[in-house]
Amino acid sequence: MANTRWTRLRGLIGVRDLPEGHGIVIEPCHGVHCMFMSIPIDVIYVDKNHRVVGLDPAMKPWTIGKIYRNSRYVIEAPVGTIERTRTQIGDQLRVVMA
């Protein structure tokens, strides 16, 4: 969970491998960047009711994602997560943090 100014800014910078089933939740967050990152990621934008409001599949390093003003938090996950889980805009999520 990245919920401080520093951890939100850092996100997954410096991560060289992100295994399936792993990722990071960034809250609050309306948009992400992949500056200084070495791996592509899937990004899922979620509102305060835990509904998916945006998707950025396979964001490449050194790119900037879209802004979703109605997003409360984002999930940064390994590339392929959106496709594998068939996540779509409007899906209701249940987030369990371990």
**For 6-46, how does the pLDDT look when each residue is reduced to its tens digit (9 = 90+)?**
788 777 877 888 889 899 999 999 999 999 989 999 999 99
In a domain, 97, yes or no: no
In a domain, 58, yes or no: yes
Contact between 44 and 78 under an 8 Å Cβ cutoff? The reply is no
What pTM was estimated for this model as a whole? 0.89
Q: What is the pLDDT of residues 33-86, one digit of tens each?
A: 999 989 999 999 999 999 999 999 999 999 999 999 999 999 999 999 999 999
d(CA 58, CA 55): 10
Host domain of residue 12: 5-85
pLDDT value at residue 98 = 66
| Count of structural domains within the chain | 1
CB atoms < 10 A from the CB of 80, how many? Answer: 13
Q: Are strands 52-59 and 24-26 parallel, antiparallel or unpaired?
A: unpaired
